[in-house]
Amino acid sequence: MTELSKSGAAVGEPVKDSPAPSAFLEVRDLKVHFPTDDGLVKSVDGLSFTLEKGKTLGIVGESGSGKSVTSLGIMGLHTTGQYGKRKAQISGEIWLDGTELLTADPDHVRKLRGREMAMIFQDPLSALHPYYTIGQQIVEAYRIHHKVDKKTARRRAVEMLDRVGIPQPDKRVDSYPHEFSGGMRQRAMIAMSLVNNPELLIADEPTTALDVTVQAQILDLIRDLQKEFGSAVIVITHDLGVVAELSDDILVMYGGRCIERGPAEKVFYEPKHPYTWGLLGSMPRLDREQTERLIPVKGSPPSLINLPTGCAFNPRCAYADVPKDNVTRTVRPELAQVGGRHWAACHMTQEQRERIWTEEIAPKL
């Protein structure tokens, strides 16, 4: 029996070239590249992970690290969005419940979208149509997959709005998106995403635009609904604290690649990659003074057209000179196992990492 099946864990080392994955969702070597006038933007460049039903995977990383493109790729929506319909190059494998989505008939993928997999978008206004009421949009989403009359579908819409905590749902069902506050719109979108009880839910930064109280409510809501429906959930955020609390496993992205992944408590309490250390240091914490709250990771995110050679993090890494022979600037580190079900892509030895973590990083956190 593998480590993965023993623990029933959400993230494991995917078995390359094995045609029949046992995991509910298995992403293998996913690449999403966009040709642009300046060159090829490698937004996602070789990402692999697995996720089981009933489990939550948190994907975390700075702005531009490829989190949204990953989720759009899984949903088959990578050619839409802010950059128009520019042709994206996508490769790898995305297995959802035994079906490989990249080679599946697009009509079939369209049917799965909404019914088996749904997404809560970063910006609810872009996902909700301004000219239709919230109710009409939920009804439409429901009727695509269920042969029911409008009255039944409307009852379902009211029920979903109630479920996500919209007051007076039988009245608010006839409101237009602009009549809702940001938090209410986010709830309405969650209601729309969940109307068909999807087995995979991707929540892309579901809380960024919301105040702290509403954020907490939305996250609680996702957790409750997951318990109820047993769905697999991917929560995407740049806040390690949010995913640590919500997730079974965490995957940290940098420059379109995974640089660390493992069980949430391991990645959060015993992280092994200097970038994850940086994310921990930049996390807002209640027990810190406002002034000392945010220490962003120094430097800027890498260009996805020309990633730095060697370790993509080396220009920003305080420990780039620790591994010998300048290897961090010449050889790209592969993900290597650093503990049970825990991987990190860094050239430092276990001893070097442990020493820096215990002596320099942990005392400051």
Q: Which residues bind Mg ion (CB under 5 A)?
A: 67-68
Residue 278 pairs in a beta bridge with: none
Nearer to ligand SF4, 57 or 348 (CB): 348
Considering the rule CB under 6 A, would residue 314 count as an interface residue with ligand SF4? Answer: yes
Number of residues that bind ligand SF4 (CB under 6 A): 15
Give Cα 251 distance to the centre of its chain.
8
Considering the rule CB under 6 A, would residue 348 count as an interface residue with ligand SF4? Answer: yes
> DSSP string covering 114-129, please?
HHTEEEE-S-HHHHS-
Residue 63 interface partner, choices ligand SF4, ligand ATP, Mg ion, none, CB cut-off 5-8 Å depending on type: ligand ATP
**Which segment (18-26, 30-38, 141-149, 306-314) binds ligand SF4 by CB under 6 A?**
306-314
> DSSP string covering 187-255, please?
HHHHHHHHTT--SEEEEESTTTTS-HHHHHHHHHHHHHHHHHHT-EEEEEES-HHHHHHH-SEEEEEET
Gap between the Cα atoms of 319 and 274, Å rounded: 8
Residue window 27-56: x/- pattern of binding to ligand ATP, with contact defined by CB under 6 A: -------x-x----x-x-------------
**Which segment (10-18, 60-68, 182-190, 344-352) binds ligand ATP by CB under 6 A?**
60-68
Residues found in the chain: 365
- Work out how close the CB of 162 gets to Mg ion at its nearest, in angstroms, rounded to a whole number: 30
Gap between the Cα atoms of 123 and 236, Å rounded: 13
Considering the rule CB under 6 A, would residue 238 count as an interface residue with ligand ATP? Answer: yes
Nearer to ligand ATP, 68 or 314 (CB): 68
Which strands, in side-by-side order, build the sheet including 39-51?
Answer: 39-51, 25-36, 89-96, 99-100
Rounded to whole angstroms, the maximal C-alpha distance in the chain is: 70
- Work out how close the CB of 314 gets to ligand ATP at its nearest, in angstroms, rounded to a whole number: 19
> DSSP string covering 136-155, please?
HHHHHHHHHHS---HHHHHH
In the chain, helix, strand, coil percent, each to 5? 40, 20, 40
Nearer to ligand SF4, 288 or 298 (CB): 298
Residue 314 interface partner, choices ligand SF4, Mg ion, ligand ATP, none, CB cut-off 5-8 Å depending on type: ligand SF4
Give the interface with ligand SF4 as residue ranges (CB under 6 A). 273-274, 311, 313-314, 317, 319-320, 322-323, 328, 333, 346-348
Give the interface with ligand ATP as residue ranges (CB under 6 A). 34, 36, 41, 43, 61, 63-69, 83, 86, 122, 238, 304
